[in-house]
Structure 1
Amino acid sequence: MQIYKIFRAPEWAELRAKGETRGAPVDLADGFVHFSTLEQTPETAAKHFAGEDGLMLVAIEVDRLGDDLKWEASRGGALFPHLYRTLALSDVAWGQPLPLVDGVHQFPAGLA
């Protein structure tokens, strides 16, 4: 199973350069790295990245994260995956651009 994280270009560049990240400012403030399931990702993009271009959608294999991944209630009581450690570049299965076309994020074929 994969979970997903949306990175802004500087955040993605930092992960690639350093090999690890504690996440975006919201992740640092909350003390964990936020992820979304496949079904949750379009709403996450619309809610937290509305109108933003230059984004990268990154997939993570759940089994790479071990016990540091916790499923916790968030939006509307839905369970969201939260990582309580640094995200390593080696945790990333793949990353693809998440372009903005006419105000709507265009997910890779087969994802949304």
Structure 2
Amino acid sequence: MELRVKRVYEPATPDDGWRVLVDRLWPRGLTKERAAVDLWAKDAAPSTELRKAYHHDGLDWAEFAEAYRAEVAGNPAIADLRAAIAGHDVVTLLYGVHDPDRNHALLLREALLG
């Protein structure tokens, strides 16, 4: 299986395969049709507390990454997500934040592949 990561605001393309939104909140200003999401795995996203600590309270990236990896390790929703994506050749994890290099979808991809 090929596991890709893409910003949800980018247009959907046929080569995205099965599209999975991995944000806890629905992307602002985006319709369900335009998002073209096959599965919304909000329980695989960082906890509300962790998301707020990173985006609003100044938690740095390294601390966020460590905390999210710990959440993923103990989160039963990750096993559910693994099972859901297992039958697909190409899966694209969709996220909403602006930074393509520092986002939880990259960390989740790492966990799903590892």
Q: TM-score range by the shorter chain?
A: under 0.3
Q: Which has the higher contact order (CA 8 A, sep 6+)?
A: 2
Give the TM-score, by structure 2 length.
0.25
Give the TM-score, by structure 1 length.
0.25
Higher helix share: 2
